[in-house]
């Protein structure tokens, strides 16, 4: 009995250590992959996951991460292979069908129309399978809304089918339902109907995305004052500094609401941080435009000189200075 115990327990410990170390290695690889994705180092994530999947060919998480790495690099054939493998490994997982359909759809956009025709059927099948497997899968229904609106009628495009999935979205998430219906009407260039649903989305959800969609409708309707009012409301709620720049840009481009444009550009410059997507040089450029439109030559020159001091090679800044000097 002692001999049995001597043999059995060390073996048990050895197997335990083996499986534990296997899990730790996997988690470390996934952690590194997540870090690569966060820093947009997708080729490094690909290299890491290729090695991992080669060693663990049926590990779903590893295959999915590899597919995602390919997708971010627009390597659609390789992404398709990964997601197809996942669908085969777990055919009841809605998200795998969704990603498979998405990769197929992106490939269809990258090839000739004739080649795309042979892919669209598989795209539809993948998305509808995902929708049927998971009645609350929001991303799949969004994909179907967009797919049926963008496809020509001759190959299956259908506004009524698109609206069907928008209604399904509404049952899952009211704000997504409103946004989807707004998208459908915007795509159809029925801007009044789109405005109605985007306003409902702002009221229901109030995210920056909701405000942005409503702003886009006012741009399509050539209503800059409403664009500015919507962006101001978004700024009051979210305090996103880039909105200050956007308001100033609309003011300068459309030559409206100069006081608001100047105020928000000054706010943008005052609150500027390195993470902001537009440099201060462009904010000074927009200020120069506003001052020029008001015939405030001294202020306009001061602002454009600030732009040029930061970015002396940008042609738009040089042209603006020349235009101001001609006044």
pLDDT in tens, 248-306: 999 999 999 999 999 999 999 999 999 999 999 999 999 999 999 999 999 999 999 99
CA distance 39 to 127: 29
> Is residue 15's pLDDT more than 80?
no
Q: pLDDT of 110-163, one tens digit each?
A: 888 888 889 999 999 999 999 999 999 999 999 999 999 988 877 788 999 999
Is the confidence at residue 6, as pLDDT, over 90? Answer: no
Mark residue 127 as left, alpha or beta (left: phi above 0; alpha: psi -120 to 50; beta: remaining).
Answer: alpha
> What pLDDT score does 20 carry?
38
Angle, nearest 10°, between helix axes 94-110 and 138-150?
A: 30
The CA-atom distances, in angstroms, between 42 and each of 48, 49, 105 are: 10, 10, 20
> How many other β-carbons are positioned within 10 Å of the β-carbon of residue 199?
17
Domain ranges of the chain: 223-327
Superfamily, domain 223-327: Tetratricopeptide repeat domain (1.25.40.10)
- More confident: 237 or 15: 237
What's the rounded Cα separation, in Å, for the pair 264 and 49? 46
């Amino acid at each position: 009995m002692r001999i049995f115990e001597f043999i059995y327990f060390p073996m048990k410990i050895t197997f335990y250590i083996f499986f534990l170390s296997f899990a730790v290695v996997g988690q470390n690889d996934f952690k590194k992959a997540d870090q690569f994705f966060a820093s947009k180092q997708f080729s490094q994530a690909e290299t890491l996951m290729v090695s991992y999947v080669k060693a663990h060919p049926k590990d779903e998480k590893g295959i999915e991460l590899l597919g995602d790495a390919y997708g971010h690099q627009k390597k659609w054939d390789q992404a398709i292979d990964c997601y197809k493998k996942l669908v085969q490994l777990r055919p009841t997982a809605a998200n795998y069908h969704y990603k498979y359909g998405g990769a197929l759809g992106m490939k269809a956009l990258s090839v000739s129309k004739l080649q795309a025709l042979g892919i669209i059927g598989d795209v539809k099948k993948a998305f509808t399978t995902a929708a049927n497997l998971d009645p609350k899968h929001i991303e799949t229904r969004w994909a179907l809304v967009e797919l049926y609106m963008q496809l020509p009628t001759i190959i299956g495009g259908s506004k009524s089918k698109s609206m069907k999935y928008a209604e399904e979205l509404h049952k899952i998430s009211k704000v997504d339902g409103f946004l989807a219906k707004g998208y459908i009407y915007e795509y159809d260039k029925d801007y009044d109907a789109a405005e109605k649903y985007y306003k409902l989305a702002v009221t229901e959800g109030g995210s920056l995305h909701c405000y942005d969609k409503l702003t886009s409708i006012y741009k399509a309707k050539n209503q800059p004052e409403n664009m500015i009012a919507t962006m101001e409301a978004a700024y009051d709620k979210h305090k996103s500094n880039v909105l200050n720049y956007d308001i100033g840009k609309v003011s300068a481009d459309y030559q409206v609401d100069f006081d608001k444009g100047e105020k928000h550009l000054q706010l943008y410059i005052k609150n500027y941080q390195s993470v902001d997507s537009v440099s201060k040089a462009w904010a000074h450029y927009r200020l120069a435009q506003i001052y020029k439109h008001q015939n405030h030559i001294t202020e306009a020159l001061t602002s454009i000189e600030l732009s040029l001091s930061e970015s002396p090679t940008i042609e738009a800044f040089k042209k603006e200075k020349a235009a101001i000097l001609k006044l």
